[in-house]
Structure 1
């Protein structure tokens, strides 16, 4: 029986819910999923404003309520220090925290121009010029990590917090056929082939299409 509860919203559109869920699975924490109704204002804020500053996802565990993805990551790292949430090496761990924090707090143009939607794939898509610096920065981050730690994940042989934080970005790039460097394109394929990612995507495909208006509001 799950010992914790994770409050999430749409698996099709919710990048922050995906991050929280991946973090729990990386830690090995068994969680019961609690879905927020799509008409709930918190859920709409998360989906339409594309911000981490809402209470979804929220991890409830042994009296603690943790509702920010990086806070969830740190909480789980404290509980399960041997789960490999962060690299063991101090320098690599600092690097991992830095890139995870960067994607957590920035890239507003990328978020608004390329919203997560796991039910569609475009062969080509016009990319808003304001999002291109964000795309280039992500490409740079990924190449630096893959070069420094030899891949196939950002910090070596196993996925960690950084991969959970960037997984929705990789899915956005695949959805909208974003041109990338060879290493970044391969990393997107690594994320897309990840067993946990495939499980989430299959759940998303079974969701009812209840949010057609979001195509306009995004």
Structure 2
């Protein structure tokens, strides 16, 4: 019998055996597909350059002339003392109602007005009380109950009184009248204000009306310090020192600088009467 011939094993490829070698990552796996897409993706278009959004201010204080409006100054000082940053919006002196106020012909004070967190608060005393509620730790009112009552009383007196002083000595921060003769009708108001200051400084120790830090009372009487300086009103040493303290307050210095830079729009007020 012839010897059987030796046959070689067929050259079977892995595919023919029914087995497939796992593709390397980057060729066919999900990870590879993603990597491939990233590799061949078109470069992203440059993002469009948009104008930066201007955020609405959290608080707005409506004021009028910084040179002439004592009530605007009070509102500004109250916001500063409370630690509330405000954007200032000045109404035009050409507005008849505002012009009447600045000329002391209107009993309705349309400025300042505070717009804050969706609320509108007008009248300076209302703004003071609102800011005290908003930031009680700022010390707009004294901690002691008796001192708080005293503070509110003299604030109310300034808010509703001293009409003769307002008429005889209108606020004008740019002016200075050495030796100015004060109308006799205003002398009673001056005496009453000096009495208030003397009592407060003696009772609470100064340098501010209710002690070591300014309160809403100091904001209410700050324009009087400016008036007394403008018209060279004779004062006792303690009252003069208080005026210097108030005029040196950083917020007061900021307001004074802006007032001096303000255009002259109300020439009628720059008169002696």
TM-score, normalising length: structure 1: 0.96
Secondary structure of 1:65's counterpart equals: strand
Question: Residue 97 of structure 1 is aligned with which of 147, 152, 170?
Answer: 152
The count of residues paired between Structure 1 and Structure 2 equals 218
Q: Name the residue aligned to 1:163.
A: 218
**In the alignment, does 2:63 pair up with 1:8?**
yes
Question: Residue 193 of structure 2 is aligned with which of 119, 124, 138?
Answer: 138
Cα pair 2:170 2:269 within 8 Å, conserved: no
Cα deviation, residue 50, structure 1: 6.6
Q: Name the residue aligned to 2:123.
A: 68
Q: Aligned partners of 2:243 and 2:129: how far apart in 1?
A: 25
Cα pair 2:172 2:270 within 8 Å, conserved: no
Cα pair 1:42 1:54 within 8 Å, conserved: no
Q: Aligned partners of 1:50 and 1:100: how far apart in 2?
A: 22
Q: Aligned partners of 2:143 and 2:117: how far apart in 1?
A: 27
**In the alignment, does 2:247 pair up with 1:189?**
no
Secondary structure of 1:82's counterpart equals: helix
Larger helix fraction of residues = 1
Q: Name the residue aligned to 1:54.
A: 109
Q: Aligned partners of 1:50 and 1:170: how far apart in 2?
A: 22
Q: Aligned partners of 1:95 and 1:71: how far apart in 2?
A: 17
User: Aligned pair in 2 of structure 1 residues 186, 8: CA closer, same or farther (>3 Å)?
Assistant: same
Cα pair 1:8 1:56 within 8 Å, conserved: yes
Cα deviation, residue 215, structure 1: 2.9
1:58-110 deviations in Å (ceiling 9; x for gaps): 00111211110000001111111111110000000000000011011000000
Runs of 4+ in 1 over 4 A off after TM superposition: none
Higher RCO (C-alpha 8 Å, min separation 6): 1
**In the alignment, does 2:266 pair up with 1:211?**
yes
Larger Rg: 2
**In the alignment, does 2:41 pair up with 1:41?**
no
User: Aligned pair in 2 of structure 1 residues 145, 151: CA closer, same or farther (>3 Å)?
Assistant: same
